[in-house]
Each structure stands twice: as structure tokens, then as C-alpha cells.
A and B are shown apart, each in its own frame.
Chain A
Amino acid sequence: MARTGILSLGQSDPKGGSHTRTPLQRFQLPVKFKPIGLVPFFGFVGLFLVWPAISLFRLAIQPTKNSDISAMREAITGDYLDSFIYTIKLSLLTALLGVLLGSLLAASVLRIERPKWFRNFMTSFAGVAANLGGIPLAFAFIAALGTQGLITKMIDYFGVNLSDAGFRISNFAGITIVYLYFQIPLMFLIMVPAFNGLRASWSESAASLGAAPWQYWRYVGLPLLTPALLGGFLLLFSNAFSAYATAYALSSGGARLVPVQIRFFLQGNTITGKDNLGYALAAWMIIIMLITMTGYLFVRRRAEKWQQ
């Protein structure tokens, strides 16, 4: 019944109605009440997303008993600051490599025309891999590159000991490689439509106007791909920055990443009275994500303008 109401209230053209009008349909809403149908949506998001998120900030800034500085302040000092720097570095690096390698993969796959199923297969696989994260992915990499991993053993056979070289699946280099497993496919999925959006008539126009291939890429191709590249970078950054499960499983909970740190506070593995440090760390995460996603929205709005 609720849905019926929603539809009939939306009838904006009185002549468009028919002989089977319900009393509701005869009742036309003034324009300013149009958003009324969005109340359940906004209510749901408010209750289960916005309220918990905003409460974090409230909890983070409330005064602490045995500390002079606020939790928000403490969350970006000392070890916590190092954690943030570590996480941001990891996210930047995996985003950058993901953008580069994923775009290259998209360009390469689009060049292969012959077996027609190949492109579809790669897209399907990328869809799975981009959403792969968490426990199974960590398992796979432990089996491959862990100290007892198959690949570790194979590389060892050729005389290179990863362990002696300082490589651990749970350290910076290790997590970077594991994250690339979902970052590259995600970028691939972003770039395939972007490359396909480059019309042949643009490169041909450029050539007929005297532009050498490099000039086409410099002045036309790259600027047109910039929104996708930049948007993809921001998305990949946020993807890595908010990832938790993979890093947690790789390091058995010992990683220096901010999300893993937050867990300590929630589980009470810390000195009492510092509860709101967990809230503060989470609040800072939201602030960083807010900046990232605002940038993303901005880039996307710009790109939509061209696509008309």
C-alpha cells in the first residue's frame, strides 16, 4: 500500500491520470512537498550511517578523565600519527600502482581482438577480483608468498630467499602486493569504458589536423582520460585506506594500519580511559575519506559535462 501511495502522489500531470483514480491521486501535492517520498530513504541512511558517523565525532571530542589533550589531537600524534602516515603511504602507493598497471592492462586487453571471449572473460574476472578482499584473498597470498608459500619456495629454488631479503607478507611490501590484487582489477573496470569512450573520430581529427600520435595523446587522449584516471586514483585510494579484513588476516591482527589499530580500542585491549581514542582515529579516517570522496564527486561531475 505504501508503494501505491508513493506512485500516485507523484503524478505531476493531472490529465495523465485515468478513470480509475484513487482519492490519493486526486490530491496533488505542492512542489515543496515532492521530497516526501524520500523520507524513508533519508531516515534509513540517517539512522544507520549518518548518526553513528556523527556520534563518532561527539564521542571523540568529549573530555577525557586522565588526559589533558583531546583525543582528536592525540590521534594524530606519536605512534598514531605514524600509523596514519603508514596507512596513507600504503594507500597512495597501491592506488598509484593500481592506476598505472590497471590502465595498462585495460589498454592491453582492448588491443587484443582475436578470441572474442577473451575480453569478456577478463572483464568477468576483474569483476570478481576487484570485489575479492578479506579472508579468502589473505589466505591465497599466505599460501603463495607466506614464509611457507609455494611461490616463496619456488623463488628460493632459484636462489633468492624472500625472508632474508626482508620480505614478509604482512609488512609494507607484502600488503602492497596483496592490495594490488584488487586495486588493478578495479582500475581495469574503470578504464575499459573510459578507453572505449575515446571516439575514433577524435584521434583521426587530430591526425588530419597535423597532430603526431604523441601530440594526440598529450593534447586530446590524456586530457579526456584525466577524469577517469583521477577519479580512479581517488577511488583506489579510498578502497585501500578503508580496507581492514585483508590486512588483519595477513598480519594476524598485528599490522600498523589505522583500521587494525582501531580494533584494539573497540576490543578493550588498552588502558581504560582512552576509549575515545578509537573514536578519534575513526573520526580522522572519515575526515580523510570525506576529502577524497569530495574530490571524486567533483571529478565525476566535470566528466559528466563532457559526456552529454
Chain B
Amino acid sequence: MSALEFVNVSKSFGDVNALSNFTIALEQGELVSLLGPSGCGKTTALRIAAGFETSDTGSILLGSTNIIGLPAHQRRMGMVFQSYSLFPHLNIRDNVAFGLKVGGVPGDVRKKRAEEMLDLVRLSDLGHRMPHQISGGQQQRVALARALATEPHVLLLDEPLSALDAKIRVEVRDEIRRLNRDLGVTTMFVTHDQDEAMSISDRICVMDNGVIEQIGSPRNVYNNPATSFVAHFVGSINSLPRGNTRVLIRPENLVLATHDESAQWRGAVTDITFVGAFTKIAVVLDNDKSSVSVLAISSQIDHNIAIGKNIGINEEIR
């Protein structure tokens, strides 16, 4: 039995199909990302699960009960928003204890539980502070603690990292992954950022125009994209001519063949970007002028590779 299951859920706003026959099952303790460009329906799916939107058709199963029609506050789903969701008039501890308070948990118990939760996100010394007195990253960690304090069936995360700085983002991301593993809470994570989805998820559900394009492990989605959309959206990809067709090959699966006169493709180097361990080389192919990007290990770049030089490119043999 799945922890959370969408069965043929559809939703349209006027003429726009936000979600069409959305079907997915989350196993107990699993972290699944809904990944896609803005307007792809990922947030709609999440909000339907939370009870903030109604679906036109379909059912949502929590365990074995259909929760369609159940008001949001009876669904026991913890939710974390993009930002500004902490109650500004309550201190951090009272924010964390809010769900317990409205659930009728006695004062001393909920205080203890709030402290435990703050401990869990390593913010135990900030309990007395007000939300505006702590940083954005800390606020999101408090929001996580607050959502988890009521021991929800499912944790729903709506782009919780998008408002944060790059460095903090990684920190909070790792925190989410750790909490998911340690507590075994089934988690649905909405994001438009493929790196985020790749690094955090057990499975990724790639969506476009309200339709699921592919569901699979990050490795699977990356290496065996089911559709051209998935190939282009997840990671970067080159489209190269082969015979009468074109093939899609990732930049890191191309190798530079400086001296190979019989290389599969030849072209002129137009740009070289050093990104640390790797170097990105942009090449314009001789035969059809399409741009190709090759990701090479920096230490293997020699003086033969410079802007304007003609080089060969081969597909990496694995």
C-alpha cells in the first residue's frame, strides 16, 4: 500500500489544463520531486493534495482512504511554502508548537515537543526569537520543524529553497534530505530546479503542461530520458547529426579528439569556460553549424584546444 497516491487527478482553470490524468504513488518514507517549468502543474498537484485546490476528477488516496472532499485542516499534511509562512506575531517556539496547540495538546507537552523539533533542525537556542529576527534559511528550517511537529502523514514542500541564497540553499536542501531519512516521513517536493531535484530525490516526476513526462530515479531520468522534453529539461544536452537523424548526447559523454582525423564530428572552438574541475568547451560543427558543448576534465585541456582551433569530437564509449 502506498503512503500517498494520486489516481487520474485532473484540473483545469478555464481553458487551461493545469493537470491531466495525474497518477503517481509515493511509497512510505519516499522523497519524490515534482520537476518542471513554471505552469507545468506541479504546484497545482501539491495544492490539490494539501486541500487548497479542488480537483475536477480523480481521487487522492492517503493510505487506503480517499481524501478528496476532506477539508485541508483534517488531512494531516505538513506543508512548507516558498517563504514568509511563519506567523510573524509568534516566537519561533510558538510557531513550531502551533499545530499541537490547535490539536489540543496540553501546554507543557507541546513546549517539550517544540524544543525537540527545534533540536532536530539545530535551532534550539532560537526558540524565543521572533521570525523577523532570524535569517531566511533559519526561517525555512523552523517551517520544516513546525510542519513535522504534528507528525504529518505526508510532508509537502512547495519550492522551499527558491527564496534562499545559493549556499544556504544547499544547507537547507541537505537538512530536508536528512529529516526525510531520519524520520521516514513521505515527502513530496516541488521544484523547477533540476539540480535540486537530482540531489535530493528518491524519484523524480518530470512534468510539462499538466502531464507526467517521466517518473524514475534521478539516474534513470538523467541517463534514459523518456522524451525529448525530459532530455532537454534535465541537465544540458547536445543535438548532433548522425546519418539522416540527430542524436542527443550529454556534454560529459563527448570526448575531444584533437588529433583524430576520423572523428565523428569536427568543428571550431568558439568559447572555453573554466568551471573548476571541469572545463566547458563550445564548438560550432563544420557540417551543419550547430552549436555543441563539451564538458572535459580540466587537467586534460592542453594548448591544442584554444578559441578558433579546429578539433574533433567523439561520443564516449562506455
Which B residues have a C-beta under 8 Å from some C-beta of A? 50-52, 71-79, 81-89, 98-99, 101-103, 130, 132, 143, 146-147, 150, 152, 156
Contact = CB atoms under 8 A, between A and B. Distances in A.
B156 A224 contact: no
Given A209-B147, A210-B76, A219-B101, A305 B132 contact: yes
Given A224-B89, A306-B132, A211 B81 contact: no
Determine the interface band of chain A, counting residues with CB < 8 A from chain B: 20 to 34
A206 B152 CA distance: 13
Contacts of B130: 305-306
A204 B143 CA distance: 13
B89 A223 contact: yes
Contact of B73 (A199, A210, A223, A305): A210
14 contacts: A199-B84, A204-B79, A208-B72, A208-B73, A208-B79, A209-B73, A209-B146, A210-B74, A210-B102, A211-B73, A219-B102, A220-B87, A305-B132, A308-B132
A215 B102 CA distance: 7
A131 interface: no
Contact of A205 (B51, B87, B152): B87
A219 B90 CA distance: 10
Instruction: Specify which of B52, B71, B73 lies most central, judged by the most chain A CB atoms within 10 Å of its CB.
Output: B73
A223 B75 CA distance: 25
A212 interface: yes
Contacts of A210: 73-74, 76, 99, 102-103, 150
B281 to A, nearest CB: 43
A255 to B, nearest CB: 41
Given A201-B85, A207-B72, 19 more contacts: A201-B83, A201-B84, A205-B81, A206-B73, A206-B98, A207-B50, A207-B71, A208-B75, A209-B147, A210-B102, A210-B103, A210-B150, A211-B98, A213-B73, A215-B73, A219-B98, A219-B102, A220-B89, A307-B88
Nearest to A205: B85
Contacts of A207: 50-52, 71-73
Nearest to A223: B89
A298 interface: no
Contacts of B71: 207, 212
A209 B89 contact: no
Contacts of A209: 73, 78, 98-99, 102, 146-147, 150
Nearest to B74: A210
Interface string A177-208: 00000000000000000000001011011111
B89 A306 contact: yes
Question: Shortest 5 CB-CB distances between A and B: which pairs?
Answer: A209-B99, A208-B79, A207-B72, A201-B85, A306-B88
A220 B103 CA distance: 15
A306 B72 CA distance: 27
A204 B43 CA distance: 14
A215 B101 CA distance: 10
Contact of B79 (A205, A213, A223): A205
Contacts of A206: 73, 87, 98, 102
Interface string A292-308: 00000000000001111
The interface centre, meaning the residue of A207, A211, A223 with most chain B CB atoms within 10 A of its CB, is A207
Nearest to B101: A219
